[in-house]
């Protein structure tokens, strides 16, 4: 059966720039465009030339993409002709393949927001589209508030869409701008519109204000649209746009869509989806959403013991698609919810083999549960779990003893006009092979000072840890109040790119940090084969 071609339109660089807390640089925009192009989307909406210097500069030297490159902006302002509107001129002059005009499609918005007449708005749509077509650009019209408008004044909303179509727009995009529409409404309305304008000219642009933008987009597809708009990781105004990361995976992996439709993203490039999603977060300096469908670290993570034992028998018992299909991976977590199956799986991932009937496994599981009850969390500290397992198995080499450490925090208040000065000093005393070493270090804070002092002189082991870098440090205080227990998670990396996490727990944040730092060093020594 031949499949119908479906068009994917990405607006990460335009609507995504309207996300609270997102502030793209020019370099970010270029990298994101390349990321999207590698993925295989059909259109990349680059931004709004003329609205701000960044977007104007971005369009002055457009990225070279296989995807069609779109400039976004509004239809001509009221009281002006399209030929005499600097905003429209900036769009027509922009180095792009197509222009997306945003146009009001709800009579109430025309009256209240534009303070214009219904006829002038229609004329603005016609003139703007015609001007783009005359300049040899493909035109798209985002019919803003289309669904709310349709429910309020069906005829006017349709007139806007028809005006765009008749003026020569390639795509008429029905927008759920306020994000309040329900999937069943959208499916019905799209099916009605598709009786007037062919579905292969219709698109959907949905916002996620009811948490249903993906469902709304897929409902619109069932209703008849053949273009889906969205943004990577669901970036966008307010609660975001339809999450293209999720939509693309659904379209390729769910047979209802995959059997009927073909998209530019291939099954092969789908295996880069998790990487692309995380690369975007990295550029934005945001932690990836662990719970994101398909690409989150938790999307294929199994915590419950009962699930783990089934997943080990056959992953399909608790996985709706194979994690590799989207470039993600299966994880079986170790925690107080674990059974022996979780432990066996995690040990195996860490390179340790233990049979399920080995009595040491029972001891290890008991230790895990006991430590978790004290506040440890091994789920995010695989290296500490590895060391615990090695200890229980009697396989952990003894490298050094810690005799003591101390830390002093110092703050000097400057004279008027001079700046304040804050810092910390730490001393760490170790015994290695019967010899005491004492190291002192300064740092910008107590943990930094301790970290530097601990790694300053490890005697014969020093060469094994030279390339260790602390890359993340997180503190969680639980049980409230000043007598609370503190959990510290530390993430380290080495020159080979290996990353490992350790945990420390104590009522004292410095002590918890020291425990996690020591585990991080011992893990590196074990992994390096130091004896
Ligand atoms: C649904 C969406 O997400 S649309 C996303 C739009 N994106 C953005 O707004 C981000 C970039 N925007 C901007 O930088 C600025 O708003 C600009 C440069 C476009 C315009 O700035 P200003 O000229 O200062 O106008 P301002 O933003 O205050 O108001 C928008 C104006 O456009 C008019 N307008 C809004 N939509 C349309 C439209 N589709 N067609 C014609 N005019 C429109 C409004 O009536 C208002 O007119 P007014 O200035 O006569 O009151
Ligand atoms: C065009 C657009 O971003 C919207 O209507 O939501």
Instruction: Spell out the residues 6+ positions from residue 189 whose beta carbon is closer than 8 angstroms to its own.
Output: 147, 150, 151, 174, 223
How many whole angstroms from 15 Cα to the centroid of ligand 2?
8
Phi, psi (5° rounding) for residue 408?
-125, 135
Residues near ligand 2 (Cβ within 6 A): 15, 102, 142, 144, 175, 177, 205, 207
Please give the structure tokens belonging to residue 276.
């692309």
How do beta strands 421-432 and 401-412 pair?
antiparallel
**pLDDT tens for the chain, residues 1 to 531:** 799 999 999 999 999 999 999 999 999 999 999 999 999 999 999 999 999 999 999 999 999 999 999 999 999 999 899 999 999 999 999 999 999 999 999 999 999 999 999 999 999 999 999 999 999 999 999 999 999 999 999 999 999 999 999 999 999 999 999 999 999 999 999 999 999 999 999 999 999 999 999 999 999 999 999 999 999 999 999 999 999 999 999 999 999 999 999 999 999 999 999 999 999 998 998 888 999 999 999 999 998 888 988 988 899 999 999 999 999 999 888 888 889 999 999 999 889 999 989 999 999 999 999 999 899 999 889 999 999 999 999 999 999 999 999 999 988 787 666 666 778 999 999 999 999 999 999 998 999 999 999 999 999 999 999 999 999 999 988 766 666 789 999 999 999 989 999 999 999 999 999 999 999 999 999 999 998
Taking the CA atoms of the chain, what radius of gyration do you get in angstroms?
Answer: 29
Please give the structure tokens belonging to residue 361.
């496994």
3-state secondary structure labels for all residues of 315-351: HHHCCCCCHHHHCCCCEECCCCCCCHHHHHHHHHHCC
Within the chain, what is the greatest distance between any pair of CA atoms? Answer: 91
Q: Please count the CA atoms within 13 angstroms of the CA of 72 that sit on its side-chain side.
A: 24
Pick the closest to residue 426 from 411, 404, 402 (CA basis): 404
How many whole angstroms from 73 Cα to the centroid of ligand 1?
9
Please give the structure tokens belonging to residue 501.
């996490």
| Closest-approaching ligand to the CA atom of 86 | 1
How many whole angstroms from 414 Cα to the centroid of ligand 1?
49
Q: Which helix (H) or strand (E) holds 87?
A: helix 86-93
Interior/surface letters 338-356, b for 16+ CB within 10 angstroms, e for the rest: bebbbbbbbbeebeeebee
Residue nearest to ligand 2 atom 6, measured at CA: 177
Instruction: Give the angle 120-151-183 at the CA atoms, nearest 5°.
Output: 125
Residue nearest to ligand 1 atom 4, measured at CA: 102
- What is the set of domains in the chain, with CATH numbers? 8-265 (3.20.20.70), 401-527 (3.30.160.270)
Q: What is the C-alpha to C-alpha distance for residues 266 and 35, in angstroms, rounded to an integer? A: 14
The interface pTM score, or ipTM, of the predicted complex is: 0.96
How many whole angstroms from 339 Cα to the centroid of ligand 1?
58
Q: What is the C-alpha to C-alpha distance for residues 518 and 357, in angstroms, rounded to an integer? A: 32
Q: What is the C-alpha to C-alpha distance for residues 333 and 519, in angstroms, rounded to an integer? A: 19
Structure letter (DSSP) for residue 75: P
How many whole angstroms from 141 Cα to the centroid of ligand 2?
10
Residue nearest to ligand 1 atom 11, measured at CA: 51
User: Could you count the other beta carbons within 10 Å of the beta carbon of residue 508?
Assistant: 11
Residue 393 burial (10 A CB sphere; 0-12, 13-18, 19+): middle
How many whole angstroms from 69 Cα to the centroid of ligand 1?
22
Q: What is the C-alpha to C-alpha distance for residues 203 and 84, in angstroms, rounded to an integer? A: 29
Question: What is the predicted pLDDT for the residue at 380?
Answer: 86
Q: What is the C-alpha to C-alpha distance for residues 130 and 415, in angstroms, rounded to an integer? A: 68
Q: 77: Cβ below 6 Å to ligand 1?
A: yes
Question: What is the predicted pLDDT for the residue at 417?
Answer: 67
Please give the structure tokens belonging to residue 402.
């810690």
Instruction: Give the angle 336-338-343 at the CA atoms, nearest 5°.
Output: 120
How many whole angstroms from 112 Cα to the centroid of ligand 1?
13
Instruction: List beta partners, residue 108.
Output: none
Question: What is the predicted pLDDT for the residue at 306?
Answer: 85
Of 16, 51, 119, the residue with max ligand 1 atoms within 8 A of its CB, to mutate for a pocket test, comes to 51
Residue nearest to ligand 1 atom 35, measured at CA: 114
How many whole angstroms from 427 Cα to the centroid of ligand 1?
60
| Closest-approaching ligand to the CA atom of 79 | 1
Phi, psi (5° rounding) for residue 353?
-110, 130
Instruction: List beta partners, residue 503.
Output: 489
Query: Are the C-beta atoms of residues 262 and 226 closer than 8 Å to each other?
Result: no
Name the 3-class secondary structure at 427: strand
Q: 103: Cβ below 6 Å to ligand 1?
A: yes
Query: Are the C-beta atoms of residues 502 and 380 closer than 8 Å to each other?
Result: no
Residue in the structure block whose two tokens are 């609370």: 484
Question: What is the predicted pLDDT for the residue at 484?
Answer: 78
Q: What is the C-alpha to C-alpha distance for residues 253 and 256, in angstroms, rounded to an integer? A: 9
Residue nearest to ligand 1 atom 46, measured at CA: 114
Instruction: List beta partners, residue 84.
Output: none
Sequence-separated contacts (24+) of 316-324 with Cβ below 8 Å: 321/249, 321/253, 321/294, 323/299, 324/271
How many whole angstroms from 237 Cα to the centroid of ligand 2?
9
Phi, psi (5° rounding) for residue 510?
-70, -40
Instruction: Spell out the residues 6+ positions from residue 176 whose beta carbon is closer than 8 angstroms to its own.
Output: 146, 147, 148, 186, 204, 205, 206, 207, 213, 216
Residue in the structure block whose two tokens are 């227990």: 485
User: Could you count the other beta carbons within 10 Å of the beta carbon of residue 196?
Assistant: 11
Q: 80: Cβ below 6 Å to ligand 1?
A: no
Instruction: Spell out the residues 6+ positions from residue 426 whose beta carbon is closer than 8 angstroms to its own.
Output: 405, 406, 407, 408, 440, 441, 443, 446, 449, 450, 452, 453
Q: 280: Cβ below 6 Å to ligand 1?
A: no
Its pTM stands at 0.85
Q: What is the C-alpha to C-alpha distance for residues 356 and 365, in angstroms, rounded to an integer? A: 11
Q: 349: Cβ below 6 Å to ligand 1?
A: no
């Amino acid at each position: 059966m031949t499949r119908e071609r479906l068009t994917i339109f990405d607006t990460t660089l335009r609507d995504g720039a309207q996300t609270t807390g997102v502030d793209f640089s020019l370099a970010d925009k270029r990298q994101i465009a390349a990321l999207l192009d590698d993925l295989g989307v059909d259109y990349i909406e680059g931004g709004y030339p003329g609205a701000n210097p960044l977007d104007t500069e971005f369009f002055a030297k457009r990225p070279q993409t296989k995807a069609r490159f779109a400039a976004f902006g509004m239809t001509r302002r009221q009281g002006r002709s399209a030929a005499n509107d600097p905003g429209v001129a900036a769009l027509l002059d922009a180095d792009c393949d197509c222009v997306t005009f945003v146009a009001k499609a709800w009579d109430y918005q025309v009256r209240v927001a534009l303070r214009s007449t219904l006829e002038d708005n229609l004329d603005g749509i016609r003139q703007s589209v015609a001007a783009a077509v005359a300049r040899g650009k493909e035109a798209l019209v985002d019919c803003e508030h289309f669904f709310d408008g349709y429910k309020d004044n069906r005829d006017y909303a349709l007139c806007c869409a028809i005006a765009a179509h008749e003026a020569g727009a390639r795509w008429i995009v029905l927008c759920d701008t306020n994000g309040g529409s329900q999937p069943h409404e959208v499916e019905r309305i799209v099916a009605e519109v598709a009786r007037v304008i062919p579905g292969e000219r219709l698109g959907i642009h949905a916002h996620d204000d009811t948490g249903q933008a993906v469902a709304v987009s897929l409902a619109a597809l069932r209703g008849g649209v053949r273009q889906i708009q969205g943004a990577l990781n669901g970036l966008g105004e307010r609660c975001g746009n339809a999450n293209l990361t999720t939509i693309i995976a659904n379209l390729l992996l769910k047979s209802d869509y995959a059997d009927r439709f073909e998209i530019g993203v291939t099954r092969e490039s789908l295996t880069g989806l998790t990487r692309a999603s995380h690369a975007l977060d990295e550029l934005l300096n945001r932690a990836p959403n662990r719970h994101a469908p398909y690409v989150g670290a938790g999307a294929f993570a199994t915590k419950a013991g009962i699930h783990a034992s089934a997943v080990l028998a056959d992953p399909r018992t608790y996985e709706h698609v194979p994690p590799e299909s989207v470039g993600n991976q299966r994880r079986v977590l170790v925690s107080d919810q674990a059974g022996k199956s979780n432990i066996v799986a995690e040990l195996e991932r860490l390179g340790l083999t233990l049979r399920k009937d080995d009595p040491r496994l029972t001891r290890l599981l008991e230790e895990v549960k006991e430590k978790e009850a004290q506040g440890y969390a091994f789920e995010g500290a695989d290296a500490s779990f590895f060391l615990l397992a090695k200890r229980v198995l009697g396989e952990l080499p003894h490298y050094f003893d810690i005799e003591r450490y101390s830390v002093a925090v110092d703050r000097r208040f400057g004279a008027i006009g001079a700046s304040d000065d804050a810092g910390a000093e730490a001393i760490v005393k170790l015994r290695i092979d019967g010899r005491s070493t004492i190291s002192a270090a300064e740092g910008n804070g107590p943990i930094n000072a301790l970290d530097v002092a601990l790694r300053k002189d490890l005697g014969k082991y020093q060469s094994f840890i030279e390339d260790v870098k602390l890359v993340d440090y997180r503190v969680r205080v639980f049980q409230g109040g000043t007598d609370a227990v503190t959990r510290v998670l530390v993430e380290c990396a080495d020159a080979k790119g290996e990353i490992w996490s350790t945990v420390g727990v104590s009522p004292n944040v410095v002590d918890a940090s020291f425990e996690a730092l020591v585990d991080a060093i011992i893990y590196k020594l074990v992994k390096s084969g130091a004896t």
